[in-house]
Amino acid sequence: KCTQGYIQEKDLVNQIKEKLISISLPDKYTDWMLRKVEEWQKDKTRDFNFSLEDVKTKITETQNKIDKLVSAYIDGDIPKESYLIKKEELLKQKLNLNQEKDGSKKNTKNQLEPLKQWILDTKKANFLASSDDYHQIREIVPKIGTNPRLSDKSFSLPLRPPFQFLAVALGARADTIAVPP
């Protein structure tokens, strides 16, 4: 037999909303943070494009060297042993540059996405703290915390680390957080 009493849905939602309030940031903060993330993303994209162009240039230069080497070998200007050694060296260099190009594409994508998603979740928490959309409230609970418990009509939810940090920071002194204009 369960020894726990029933809890009204509205009472449970109110307790969850209290948790949401503890991790919610006002729109002016989240909007400012989203603008900063967007700015960082643009800088990262610009830097990536410069780096990618540099790698592409090096690949083209290496291919030109390979072409010249093959021409010199065909013309009989260099011996076969020297040709094979230099060709192997240039092909390895070209392969490394292609791998660098492919690897840098993978590394730059979505580096700031977790931060952006966290900011959006805090913004959503702020909205849901004053909302009666139970479905969306239910969906955000696993994002902000782990292992929710209900005991003696009391809801507890250990917060995930970024939200836990925010709750502690906001609990310490929420009115001292300053956002540049």
For the entire predicted model, the pTM comes to 0.66
Tens digit of each residue's pLDDT, the chain (181 residues):
778 788 888 888 999 998 898 888 888 999 999 999 999 988 888 887 788 888 888 889 988 988 888 888 888 888 888 888 888 888 898 888 888 877 766 665 578 889 999 999 999 999 999 988 889 998 999 998 888 888 888 888 888 888 888 888 887 544 444 444 4
103 by Cβ neighbours in 10 Å (0-12 / 13-18 / 19+) ranks as exposed
Phi, psi torsion values for 145, nearest 5 degrees = -150, 175
8 A C-beta contact, residue 18 and residue 137 = no
pLDDT at 106: 62
CA angle 130, 134, 140 (to 5 degrees): 80
- The number of C-alpha atoms within 13 Å of 157 and in the hemisphere containing its C-beta is 25
